[in-house]
Structure 1
Amino acid sequence: MCVRVDCKKCGKHSWMGCGQHLASLYANIEEGKHCMCKSWPGVVINRPSGGSATASTTAQILFLSTILFRFFFFMGDLFMFCTCFRFCTTGLPGDVAIEVDGMTFHLHKFPLMGKSRKLQEMISEQERSQTTNRFATIQTVSEQNQSNENDEGEGEIREEDNEGQFHIALPNFPGGCVAFETAAKFCYGVKVDLSATNVAALRCAGEYLEMTEEYSEDNLISKAERFLSQTVLKNITYSIKTLTSCEGLLPMAENLGIVQRCIEAIATKAAAADPSLFGWPMNGGAMDGKVESDARRKYGEVTRGAATAESWLDELGFLSVNTFNRLIFTMKALNLSGDIIESCLMNYAKKFIPGISRTTTRKPSAPSNLPSESERRELLEMIISNLPTEKTSRSTSNTTRYLFGLLRTSYILNASEISTRTLEKKIGSQLEQATLDDLLIPSYSYLNETLYDVDCVERILIYFLQRFEERPVTRIEADEEQGNSTLSTALIMVGKLIDGYLSEIASDANLKPEKFYEFAITLPDDARVFDDGLYRAVDVYLKAHPWISEMDREKICGVLDCQKLTLEACTHAAQNERLPLRAVVQVLFFEQLQLRHTISGTILGGGRTEDEEIVDRSRAEEGTTWRAAVSDNQVLRGDMDTMRARVQELERECSIMKKTIGKMENPGRHEHVDNAGWLSKLGCKFKTQVCDSHEPTVAAGRKRSHERRREH
């Protein structure tokens, strides 16, 4: 605060203090009293009694002040920070105090008025108000001086009333004090470095301060718009950063169209991206020479492209849920590839939903940054609803693993049933890419007694099988003509996967026999080339459940098709004490059948060997050796004799077993049990020349299972 000392004897006065009265320097410069302030020594000023400076004088002063401001800027920083205040370090005392978000800026009015229409109007309004108050104050002081003439010659000191000091508050300023400081520097002629993170805030600040091109040439609004259109919107990473910065600028950024323009730019640039860069497309291999160098060069290009794609995908994690949802909606409206949409959703989910990937290397977010459980549930449901329903072209086992991670999280967060079923259908469309570890979903419900959620995996398997049932007739005929179709290969892969899953859950003591049986017969017959994996699951189940009844044991063994057991599996089953007697007999008969077929083929092969022996003898006359062929023939005949002995031994064992079973089931008339009736009682399921089946087969049971699935 400045103080003016008046001498009542001579009427002269002088100034001292902090120099705030120097704001009147912009009003008028004339011969007058000498200023004693150290901040601006040697300047003579005279306060006018009223009125304002002429337009020419104001323009000259504005020009001189701009030159001074630029000079002091190059000498050092323009603003000096002090707690909650910022002072202009030009050496000139400020005449405008502007408050933004609790921060007070002490600036000069003419640079601000030259660029901002809003500040010009607010300062002009306060000038008119201060002029009116000044006249009233002068009149009051004059009356008091006339009535008080005591103590002549003594100096009287009174405080200056802050005339010329303007106080302006800018509530809800977009971008806060940081954006205002940058805009103020722009008003002072300081070069402002625009970037993707501050251009939106400066564009909104220019709109707030009305820094238009019509008011002043090359103003802040036009400068920010050029940077947006020429730099930001042409780069997908810059667009995402600018869109992220708009989160704290709503609703002004939305009204100015910055948000929508950034979203459309991101979607357009993503549509032009190479879909092969999304996912994990690279495979290792052994190469050499020029091929290796070319492959390395291409690998480097793809790696750089994938790194670029990953960089902007990671930037999506800084968007809010609503903004990200709008972006995905725009991508779908532009018919973007499902690979791109799926990659965006997966990367966003990994950012906010921890625990999706069991092998994630991403650093966990701070506890304060993690969303609440309800927010994560809403985010999860939003991601699931936007996932492509069908399998994408670039889908890999990693993608399927993340989908299973989403499924586990949906159970933990108690997501809606619609979201859970939608995700299960999505997984069912690419089940052949899953691993056994993916299927081992813990049972999160207290209603399930089993360790793993078998019902969930069964539903996923049913959704997978519906792909085959919903195929058109033309597609089925084409697949049959090709023989090795993609769907048939996927079905066989799923068959092996389910057999491994059955082996894992078979050791669960709470798994009911009915549940195991129903799940085992869900797959169709052509899903298993061999039943060795299924036999292993049955063996594990019988070993872990020794208390089940004989009827349940026979029912469990009824899922096996002896025609699809290899010789190794048959040998193990024939010696397995856990199998029911009926199942052992079936396995023995099938092993006997396989041996007979092998012997028949060997005999035919032996006949061909004898013919070849004659040819060899004829060649021996020409100088060729035939003793080696004769020796091989003798070895082959020895093997045939051994196999015949083994067959006779098996026939004797079967005959003894036949008599034993006949005595147990029909003690009064076991002598009259013929071969066909005995086989009927055994329930042999394979159609051979040895026995026929008269009981429902596994195929019939699976057929009934498919009919029940169609009803659902």
Structure 2
Amino acid sequence: MWNGITTTGKPRSPGAGWWYRQASSLRLPVYKRLISEMRARGMSPEGIAGSLTHYARRHLSGLNRRDVVSGGASDTAAALSDDVVGEQRVLLEEIVALLPAEKGVAATRFLLGMLRTATILHAGPACRDALETLAGEQLEEATLEDLLIPNTGYSSETLYDVDCVQRMLEQFLLSNTTAYGADGRSPEITADEAPSGELMPASTVARLVDGYLAEVGTDASLKSTKFQQIAALVPDYARSLDDGLYRAIDIFIKAHPWLTESEKEQLCRLMNCQKLSLEACTHAAQNERLPLRVVVQVLFFEQLRLRTTMTSWFFANDNNAVVDQGSPSSRRKSGGEIDFAAGSEDNDDDDKVVVYTPGSSEQHASAMSVEDIRQRVVELEDECSSMRQEMHRLGKPKAGIGGGGRPGALGRLFRKLGIGGGVRPPSQQQQQPRLPSSGGEKRSRFLDLGC
């Protein structure tokens, strides 16, 4: 102020947490009396949680994850004397006891940091249970880095505390999916039928759990049963794609090469082969670590998906598209028609499918090369044929062999896959052209393939 006029501009009003710094300088007994009095006078839970967060970050050592990672959990605890460890443990338990029980008032990252510090300081069970409950209710706000809590117990076998994450996941399901039962699982519920308010947190937690399983799956001490328990807790409707779960299973199988075929099949039952993307299906079809039954299922559903896509292309709705049955050179330009340019061998447009969209002032044409589709069908045929020859080479079929040397059960399986003909010796096999040259015969060939 100079002569009644301020020279620093308009004064700024203090924020809601203006008293956090001053209160954090108080000793613990006085600070507890201050928090109790403010709560009695009606202070908001957010304000109390903010003050406790500021106080904990100032007085608890090793609360930030970077401090633990730089020195390690055991080194951080060993660097403190027994008296200091005892004081830190009491301080942490007192702060947790003062935390409001309302959901969302404290940050999830802060709660998980307190839980990690409680694990290092060997805090009491009541303190850890309270932190797990608060963090589990808002688990969708956590990150993978926050969930990697080191296991510091002397009798622990795993590198990370997976039991703690399992309990927090159960708490999340209990508080967010109570409409679907105590376990939070309902196979009949799909992503379209699930309430929008629960689908977003559940999908976020599903991706988080899949990433966590992929991270802890590299630990050779992690049991297969524990892996299955955590993966099975996620509701079915929460995963729109099972690519993350497939990646976690593949990493776990790679880190545990001593697993039997039955144990691998139990792990693979956790994922739905119909919910794998094209990239995941391609990887799974070439993955030698997966059981043969799973590879056959992946190939079957991939061919079924390709067949459905091809059928939707070649048999469009009559109300929206009409197939041109005229001469090869004629082309109908009216809206709502699909023209297959199936000309003679000299016509270069016989490998293009041109779709005309109705209801527009100008024609929008989108062309897709049939050569790509043909190549994909050929690759599927080759993969299934090689698998069939490998099965016969192992000498498993002994009964029910019909024409072509194929067992009846495998014959039905290959007929479902759309593969005809028996396995003939190389001397009797004849090289047949993949597809005829004319457009009409090409479409007939695609129909014979089940597309």
Taking structure 2 as the reference length, what is the TM-score of the superposition?
Answer: 0.69
Cα pair distance change 1:652/1:337, threshold 3 Å: same
**What is the letter of the counterpart of residue 373 of structure 1?**
V
Cα pair distance change 1:336/1:606, threshold 3 Å: same
Cα pair distance change 1:417/1:637, threshold 3 Å: same
| 2:254 paired residue number | 543
| Residue 412 (1) aligns with residue 149 (2) | no
Cα pair distance change 1:637/1:413, threshold 3 Å: closer
| Residue 320 (1) aligns with residue 27 (2) | yes
| Residue 387 (1) aligns with residue 99 (2) | yes
**What is the letter of the counterpart of residue 650 of structure 1?**
L
| 1:452 paired residue number | 160
| Residue 555 (1) aligns with residue 266 (2) | yes
How far residue 484 of structure 1 moved from its aligned partner, in angstroms, is 5.5
- Is the Cα contact below 8 Å between 1:425 and 1:463 reproduced in 2? yes
| Residue 669 (1) aligns with residue 364 (2) | no
Listed as ranges, the gaps of 5+ residues in structure 2 are: 1-8, 68-78, 325-330, 338-348, 356-364, 419-451
| 1:39 paired residue number | none
How far residue 326 of structure 1 moved from its aligned partner, in angstroms, is 2.1
| 1:437 paired residue number | 145
| Residue 591 (1) aligns with residue 310 (2) | no
How far residue 673 of structure 1 moved from its aligned partner, in angstroms, is 5.1
Q: Deviations over 1:125-160 (max 9, x none)?
A: xxxxxxxxxxxxxxxxxxxxxxxxxxxxxxxxxxxx
> Percent identity over the alignment?
41
Q: Deviations over 1:153-192 (max 9, x none)?
A: xxxxxxxxxxxxxxxxxxxxxxxxxxxxxxxxxxxxxxxx
- Is the Cα contact below 8 Å between 1:431 and 1:494 reproduced in 2? yes
- Is the Cα contact below 8 Å between 1:509 and 1:544 reproduced in 2? yes
| 2:312 paired residue number | 601
- Is the Cα contact below 8 Å between 1:609 and 1:633 reproduced in 2? no
Cα pair distance change 1:637/1:351, threshold 3 Å: closer
Q: Deviations over 1:196-225 (max 9, x none)?
A: xxxxxxxxxxxxxxxxxxxxxxxxxxxxxx
Partner Cα separation in structure 2 for residue 324 and residue 356 of structure 1: 20
Q: Deviations over 1:106-137 (max 9, x none)?
A: xxxxxxxxxxxxxxxxxxxxxxxxxxxxxxxx
Cα pair distance change 1:382/1:536, threshold 3 Å: same
**What is the letter of the counterpart of residue 590 of structure 1?**
F
| 2:328 paired residue number | none
| 2:60 paired residue number | 353
- Is the Cα contact below 8 Å between 1:602 and 1:640 reproduced in 2? no
How far residue 641 of structure 1 moved from its aligned partner, in angstroms, is 5.6
SS of residue matched to 2:218: coil
| 2:387 paired residue number | 657
| 1:633 paired residue number | 354
Partner Cα separation in structure 1 for residue 156 and residue 121 of structure 2: 17
Cα pair distance change 1:499/1:458, threshold 3 Å: same
How far residue 604 of structure 1 moved from its aligned partner, in angstroms, is 3.8
Cα pair distance change 1:524/1:484, threshold 3 Å: closer
Partner Cα separation in structure 2 for residue 559 and residue 507 of structure 1: 18
Cα pair distance change 1:326/1:470, threshold 3 Å: farther
- Is the Cα contact below 8 Å between 2:17 and 2:51 reproduced in 1? no
SS of residue matched to 1:509: coil
SS of residue matched to 1:372: helix
Partner Cα separation in structure 2 for residue 602 and residue 411 of structure 1: 58
Q: 1:468 aligns with which of 144, 166, 176?
A: 176
| 1:373 paired residue number | 85
Runs of 4+ in 1 over 4 A off after TM superposition: 479-484, 605-613, 616-619, 634-638, 658-666, 670-679
Cα pair distance change 1:551/1:463, threshold 3 Å: same
**What is the letter of the counterpart of residue 174 of structure 2?**
Q
Q: 1:529 aligns with which of 240, 246, 253?
A: 240
Q: Deviations over 1:535-558 (max 9, x none)?
A: 111111122222222222222222
**What is the letter of the counterpart of residue 354 of structure 1?**
S
Structure with greater helix percent? 1
- Is the Cα contact below 8 Å between 1:390 and 1:429 reproduced in 2? no
Cα pair distance change 1:562/1:664, threshold 3 Å: farther
| Residue 646 (1) aligns with residue 376 (2) | yes
Q: Deviations over 1:310-353 (max 9, x none)?
A: 44111111122222222222333344322112111111111211
Cα pair distance change 1:444/1:640, threshold 3 Å: same
Tell me which moved more, 639-648 or 510-519. 639-648
Cα pair distance change 1:355/1:649, threshold 3 Å: closer
Partner Cα separation in structure 2 for residue 566 and residue 521 of structure 1: 20
| 2:134 paired residue number | 426
How far residue 434 of structure 1 moved from its aligned partner, in angstroms, is 0.5
Q: 2:38 aligns with which of 318, 321, 331?
A: 331
| 2:51 paired residue number | 344
Q: Deviations over 1:34-89 (max 9, x none)?
A: xxxxxxxxxxxxxxxxxxxxxxxxxxxxxxxxxxxxxxxxxxxxxxxxxxxxxxxx
| 1:614 paired residue number | 332
- Is the Cα contact below 8 Å between 2:53 and 2:110 reproduced in 1? yes
How far residue 587 of structure 1 moved from its aligned partner, in angstroms, is 0.8
Cα pair distance change 1:577/1:482, threshold 3 Å: closer
Superposition map of 1:245-256 within 5 A: none
SS of residue matched to 1:614: coil
Superposition map of 1:136-215 within 5 A: none
Q: How many residues align?
A: 358
Which of the pair has more CA radius of gyration?
A: 1
- Is the Cα contact below 8 Å between 1:606 and 1:633 reproduced in 2? no
Partner Cα separation in structure 2 for residue 541 and residue 426 of structure 1: 30
Partner Cα separation in structure 2 for residue 447 and residue 535 of structure 1: 31
| 2:207 paired residue number | 496
Cα pair distance change 1:390/1:563, threshold 3 Å: farther
Partner Cα separation in structure 2 for residue 618 and residue 570 of structure 1: 35
How far residue 422 of structure 1 moved from its aligned partner, in angstroms, is 0.9
Taking structure 1 as the reference length, what is the TM-score of the superposition?
Answer: 0.45
Listed as ranges, the gaps of 5+ residues in structure 1 are: 1-299, 361-366, 620-627, 683-688, 692-712
- Is the Cα contact below 8 Å between 2:112 and 2:146 reproduced in 1? yes
Cα pair distance change 1:325/1:575, threshold 3 Å: same
Q: Deviations over 1:554-613 (max 9, x none)?
A: 222222210110011000110111111111111111111111111112224598566796
- Is the Cα contact below 8 Å between 2:132 and 2:168 reproduced in 1? yes
- Is the Cα contact below 8 Å between 1:450 and 1:511 reproduced in 2? yes
- Is the Cα contact below 8 Å between 2:60 and 2:88 reproduced in 1? yes
Cα pair distance change 1:408/1:379, threshold 3 Å: same
Partner Cα separation in structure 2 for residue 377 and residue 488 of structure 1: 38
Partner Cα separation in structure 2 for residue 618 and residue 446 of structure 1: 72
